[in-house]
Amino acid sequence: MSARLRIGIIGAGMAGLYAAYRLKESGYEVVVFEKNSDVGGTWLQNDYPGLHVDVITRSYEFAEMRSSTWSKRYAPGVEIGAYLKSFARRKGLYPLIRFGSEVAEASWHDGVWQIVTTDGETHVFDVAMVATGFLRVPKMPRIEGMDDFRGTAFHSSRWDHSLSFTGKRVGVIGTGSSGIQIVSELGKRGHDVVHFIRTPQWIQIKENPSISWLEKLLLRIPALAKYWDTRMARLRVKTDGPETWRLEPGPDRDAANQRFLDVLEQEIPDPALRRKLTPAEPLGCKRIPKSPDYYRVLQRPNVQPVFGPLGHIEHDGVVDGTGVKHTLDVIVFATGFDTHAYMRPMRITGANGVTLDELWQGAVFSYRGVGLPQMPNLFLLNGPFAPINSLAIPLCLRDEVGYLLRLLAVIERDRTPIAPTRAATDRFVDTIREKLPQTTYSLCDNWYTDASGTQVIWPFTRAEHGRQYDELNLDDFETFGLPVEALS
Ligand SMILES: Cc1cc2nc3c(=O)[nH]c(=O)nc-3n(C[C@H](O)[C@H](O)[C@H](O)COP(=O)(O)OP(=O)(O)OC[C@H]3O[C@@H](n4cnc5c(N)ncnc54)[C@H](O)[C@@H]3O)c2cc1C
């Protein structure tokens, strides 16, 4: 080990940038590998029309760089991307990042991590930090005939900006956040849109007002900004209910159900359409898309909802499950991501030659969202069981990185690589599994569900996420001694 730990971070999205900043501030030697040509991850790769953040934007920024310039309460994605670039610039992170550098392989060898990039370079670190995201690898469905389509077809995260939509008929497949946002935006712009809705979702209708110049001015004054943030937090509890409704059955959950049913009633006067748009699945079991106007847009004459499973695709359109053909020029697959890919296809090999694929055979897991047994000095950010549905990502990262900094201090002090034990990891996963059945997440098949049927999600409160890191719990870790040669 070098005097100060050398740390290799993989990924320069929100997680990698935040970790790089905190580690650099603590004096560690940091190198970030990023396969893209700039920072931002999600917010660089996704730029479809209508993309906006679904939490109040002031809670989607780092405490270390507050912003008073957001244009809307839920800012457009392009502003988040610009904010992350500005964070990297202002915190001096760009010189630490190797762009266009995709990590193919990381292996633990003689007490260090060897990180190998696709261009064949090898770099050596005492610690590896994996910040490769969880909504990154596009998931494309297999639909009969899809290769025969002669129009333009692409995944929502690979938007074709060379395309003009004027005079074109666009089919959007998928009812997650991306699908809802794309249909709303294209529909509002007056394009001819068909929304294929296999499973109607609960959708939270939330106004998205512009932030006035006066508010922007107030947000520059810390005391007034604090007042604004508190007001927004109160408003959120009023509109969303307390966080516990997702975590356990009870009156709060019943109230949430009623709120959503009321919204459907208000927004969709036609009872037949309302019936079709009323989900059969329990509220909150899937991540709830938020939109100010999706239901209103869906009732415009230029937007056509088509319900039920798809039949097949032909060279000029989609045939629905009832045999009706919808002629299309463009198909957008808003079909989500392989949410359990995490850092894969990168290959990771830990102590005694154990590989990540062997560890995760059947199901992904982690120790407290950040560690893996037999992977000494390897840490994850936004890993399995992180609170990616309930806690704003910057707060989650603050909890995780704060804990990891304390662990790194121990590693550096004792000059000994560590990893959580299998037993401690199993105990952590068991606690999660025990709680999950009470939560709404367990009530349907969703993108948190892994191959073993477990929802890979934090099922406790936001406060409990921070509290789990109060203690370092070093008893949960085992050390990995260096080979004698390395000590000499
Ligand atoms: C369309 C969309 C909308 C979203 N909206 C919201 C929202 O409104 N609210 C919310 O809380 N969350 C939202 N999310 C989730 C979002 O992904 C997280 O909030 C957050 O941005 C994740 O940051 P990250 O750094 O963990 O991952 P990412 O942003 O995915 O960054 C991972 C980075 O790692 C790099 N990388 C991966 N593998 C390698 C490799 N082998 N070598 C080198 N580099 C590599 C990638 O290129 C990427 O830059 C959304 C996600 C998507 C896809």
Q: How far is the CA of 42 from the centre of ligand 1 (A)?
A: 4
What is the mean predicted confidence (pLDDT) over 253-281?
97
pLDDT at 342 over 50: yes
**What DSSP string runs through 382-441?**
S-TT--TTTS-HHHHHHHHHHHHHHHHHHHHHHT--EEE-HHHHHHHHHHHHHHGGGSGG
Report the nearest atom of ligand 1 relative to the CA of 343. Answer: 38
pLDDT at 268 over 80: yes
Q: How far is the CA of 19 from the centre of ligand 1 (A)?
A: 14
Which pLDDT score, from 0 to 100, does residue 418 have? 96
Chain centre distance of CA 176 = 13
Q: Cα(97)–Cα(101) distance, rounded to whole angstroms?
A: 9
- Whether omega for the bond prior to residue 95 falls within 30 degrees of 0, making it cis, is no
Tens digits of residue pLDDT in 38-70: 999 999 999 999 999 999 999 999 999 999 999
What is the mean predicted confidence (pLDDT) over 440-449?
94
Q: Cα(434)–Cα(426) distance, rounded to whole angstroms?
A: 12
pLDDT confidence of 485, banded at 50, 70, 90?
very low
Q: How far is the CA of 178 from the centre of ligand 1 (A)?
A: 14
Tens digits of residue pLDDT in 82-96: 999 999 999 999 999
Q: Render the burial of 460-470: b for 16+ CB within 10 Å, e for the rest.
A: bbbeebbebbe
pLDDT at 482 over 70: no
Q: Cα(103)–Cα(35) distance, rounded to whole angstroms?
A: 8
pLDDT confidence of 488, banded at 50, 70, 90?
very low
74 contact partners, CB below 8 Å, separation of at least 6: 52, 53, 54, 55, 56, 57, 206, 208, 290
pLDDT at 467 over 80: yes
Which pLDDT score, from 0 to 100, does residue 487 have? 43
pLDDT above 70 as % of the chain: 99
Tens digits of residue pLDDT in 234-261: 998 888 889 999 999 999 999 999 999 9
pTM for this prediction: 0.96
Which pLDDT score, from 0 to 100, does residue 211 have? 96
pLDDT at 347 over 80: yes
Strand order in the sheet with 317-320: 310-314, 317-320, 325-327
Phi, psi dihedral angles at 72 (to 5 degrees): -135, 160
Q: Is 178 in the pocket of ligand 1 (CB under 6 A)?
A: yes
